[in-house]
Amino acid sequence: MSAKLKSSRKSKGAVDRPFDPEILKRARKIAEKYQVIIAHEDDGYWYGRGLELPNAHEDGATPEECVKKTREIFVTVVAWMLEEGMIPPFPASDEVRDQQVNIRLTTEEKLRLEESARQAGFRGVSDFMRSKALA
């Protein structure tokens, strides 16, 4: 299962496969702290994605429906990650990021890194690098 989980507009946004109840409980506790970013599009639908899980996204006819369905996708992704022995991202609100690391890159490396971040659904290189390095 890929972290890129998206259901169609016909989905109810609910977890649609069995997970161990304890894993699901842990996943819900983690996912409830994740931030949802929503946008309204010209087609009338609302689209949500995660700040911590940018490739986990959903849609809805209303902002409330969109947020609810997006949170359920977060639960599914986090439960899958826990099953696979992966460490889900920490909620952005949990820690103050007060440390900085600088690296020197060529212009080509920087462009490739920025493109990789965009393709992975990240809006910035910092979150992309942190996510990949700490995964």
CATH of the domain at 40: 3.30.160.250
**Is the same domain home to 5 and 32?**
yes
**Is the same domain home to 103 and 78?**
no
Residue by residue, pLDDT tens for the chain (135 residues) are: 333 333 444 445 555 678 999 999 999 999 999 989 888 888 889 999 888 888 899 999 999 999 999 999 999 999 999 999 988 988 887 767 778 888 899 999 999 999 988 887 676 788 778 777 765
85: domain range?
A: 1-93
**Is the same domain home to 131 and 87?**
no
**Is the same domain home to 111 and 68?**
no
**Is the same domain home to 33 and 57?**
yes
Asked if 33 contacts 91 with a C-beta cutoff of 8 angstroms, the reply is yes
> Which pTM value belongs to this model?
0.61
Look at the chain and report how many structural domains it folds into. Answer: 2
The Cα–Cα gap between 90 and 133 comes to 13
Instruction: Work out the burial of residue 99: count CB atoms within 10 Å of its CB; fewer than 13 is exposed, 13-18 middle, 19 or more buried.
Output: exposed
